[in-house]
Amino acid sequence: MIGSSVVVRTRSWIVLCLGLLAAGSQAALAGECPGHPDALGTSRTLVVDPREHPRIGTMQYRETLPLKDHEVVLTFDDGPLPKYSYQILKMLDDECIKATFFIIGEQAKANPEGVRKLVAAGHTVGTHSMTHPLTFDRMPLDKAEAQINGGIEWTSAAMTDPSKLAPFFRIPGLMRADGVENLLISRGIQVWSADFPADDWRHVSPDRVYQLAIQRLEAKGKGILLLHDIQARTVAALPKILRDLRARGYRIVHVVPATADLPATPTTPVEWLLHPPTETTPIARWPAIPNFVFTQTSMLPAPALADLNARAEHQPLLPHKTIAQAGVAATLPVPGRDLFAIPEGSIEVLLSTTLSRRAATRMAMAAEAPRAAKGKSASKAGKPRTAHAAAKHTAQAKGTAPRPTRVANSVKKRA
């Protein structure tokens, strides 16, 4: 236990020292930017091996550069065009920022001096085809290859030292296709997409370019920003973007290709994902939920008494078995009309249940007296059972048959 705590303490000291070292180097770097003490600077150089990670940029691919939170890589396409490219070059120089430029062969052919300036300033230079056709997703492979070769040929021809050309390629318009990508990868060329553009090739204001650059960067927290050094709006937007990057605590990373003398920066595969799963995301490590089939449920049989080890002598202790009847109607039959009729003569019974015995006897005697008076006619035809029957009986006894009402007749006719 003592040993492990010593290890932990030593580790935290190492982490602390490394942190101070990193902070110190960044401060020193800003200080190293002559005449610009508040420069954004370049926080580190990332060396990548195109063969290990051939496609990068989450706009199109699973992997992107292994950047840490708040790290940004600036990329500029379609140059060089002296009118604007040189202004951008000056801004980056003033901030001591190193970026990556994707050169069009025709532009390099027309402005070889522009390519040499980029290399001299220490920027990374990759290529972006010969004439920038926006048909890479459907052009024949041999034509795509000619475009790739033309870009490389004219860009390297503009360089004093062609070995400075990075094996990085960005497909014009990001019009990717498997065949083109495979061709590039087979030649050890890394395919660069981006993590977010700022739409600076569209007819938008410089302020909009600035807003999109920052908003999209903030949404991802880090990544490769795609800009164009041939646009006036990009020239106008860049100072504000760089100022805001510094204010928000972003750090610029310079990317260079690995060579025989310069090995790739050690990374783990998971660092090449924009948002790799972390230890704090336990759900990613939990087993998958089994695939229950709820539609195939079946009822278990109800236990029989025998299942409960109920013996004959114990049966009185258990609830009586009820016999379930299948096919019993869900509703009870409608009761007969005379179900609620009070039988004549049962008034004594009714009264005896609701009144005191003395009161009941008195009332029963009172009820008996008039019945006894007309008992003869009643006894002739027998005792009618209900009040309705009694009325009918009385009517029949008088010889007058019940007639339907006039209303009933008129309704019947109309029907």
Q: Which stretch binds Zn ion (CB under 5 A): 78-86, 148-156, 236-244, 257-265?
A: 78-86
Tell which residue, 69, 42, 123, 36, has the closest CA to residue 248.
Answer: 69
- Could you tell me which residues are beta bridge partners of residue 301? none
Cβ-based nearer residue to Zn ion, 177 or 347: 177
How far apart are CB 156 and Zn ion at their closest, in Å?
19
Site membership for Zn ion, residue 229 (CB under 5 A): no
Length of the chain: 415
How far apart are CB 77 and Zn ion at their closest, in Å?
4
Cβ-based nearer residue to Zn ion, 173 or 221: 173
How far apart are CB 100 and Zn ion at their closest, in Å?
13
Bin 108: left if φ > 0, else alpha if -120 < ψ < 50, else beta: alpha
How far apart are CB 151 and Zn ion at their closest, in Å?
11
How far apart are CB 204 and Zn ion at their closest, in Å?
17
Q: Are 53 and 272 in contact (CB under 8 A)?
A: yes
Cβ-based nearer residue to Zn ion, 88 or 351: 88
Pattern 321-360, binding to Zn ion, x per CB under 5 A? ----------------------------------------
> Strand 124-127 relative to strand 100-103: parallel, antiparallel, unpaired?
parallel
CA distance 190 to 24: 33
CA distance 169 to 184: 8
CA-based end-to-end distance of the chain? 104
Q: Which stretch binds Zn ion (CB under 5 A): 75-83, 92-100, 136-144, 209-217?
A: 75-83
Q: What is the per-residue DSSP string for 112-144? A: HHHHHHHHHTT-EEEE--SS--S-TTTS-HHHH
How far apart are CB 89 and Zn ion at their closest, in Å?
18
Site membership for Zn ion, residue 200 (CB under 5 A): no
Cβ-based nearer residue to Zn ion, 103 or 264: 103
Cβ-based nearer residue to Zn ion, 77 or 229: 77
Tell which residue, 108, 107, 104, 159, has the closest CA to residue 128.
Answer: 104
- Please select the residue that binds Zn ion; options are 63, 71, 78, 95, rule is CB under 5 A: 78
How far apart are CB 226 and Zn ion at their closest, in Å?
9
Cβ-based nearer residue to Zn ion, 126 or 172: 172
CA distance 99 to 115: 13
How far apart are CB 134 and Zn ion at their closest, in Å?
9
- Could you tell me which residues are beta bridge partners of residue 293? none
Binding positions for Zn ion, 150-179, rule CB under 5 A: 172
Site membership for Zn ion, residue 77 (CB under 5 A): yes
CA distance 275 to 62: 10
Q: Which residues contact 270 (CB under 8 A, 6 or more apart)?
A: 276, 277
How far apart are CB 78 and Zn ion at their closest, in Å?
4
Q: Which residue is nearest to Zn ion (CB)?
A: 77
Backbone angles phi, psi at 191, to 5 degrees: -90, 115
Q: Is 179 exposed, middle or buried (0-12, 13-18, 19+ CB in 10 A)?
A: middle
Pattern 26-65, binding to Zn ion, x per CB under 5 A? ----------------------------------------
Cβ-based nearer residue to Zn ion, 149 or 394: 149
Residues that bind Zn ion (rule: CB under 5 A) add up to a total of: 3
Cβ-based nearer residue to Zn ion, 39 or 212: 212
- Could you tell me which residues are beta bridge partners of residue 188? none
| Helix, strand, coil content of the chain in percent (nearest 5) | 50, 10, 40
Cβ-based nearer residue to Zn ion, 86 or 101: 101
CA distance 59 to 167: 20
Q: Which stretch binds Zn ion (CB under 5 A): 69-77, 92-100, 266-274, 291-299?
A: 69-77
Cβ-based nearer residue to Zn ion, 78 or 195: 78
How far apart are CB 174 and Zn ion at their closest, in Å?
8
How far apart are CB 231 and Zn ion at their closest, in Å?
11
- Burial call 43-82: b when 16+ CB within 10 Å, e when fewer: bbebbbbbeebbbbbbebbebbbbbeeebbbbbbbbbbbb
Cβ-based nearer residue to Zn ion, 101 or 210: 101
Residues forming the site for Zn ion (CB under 5 A): 77-78, 172
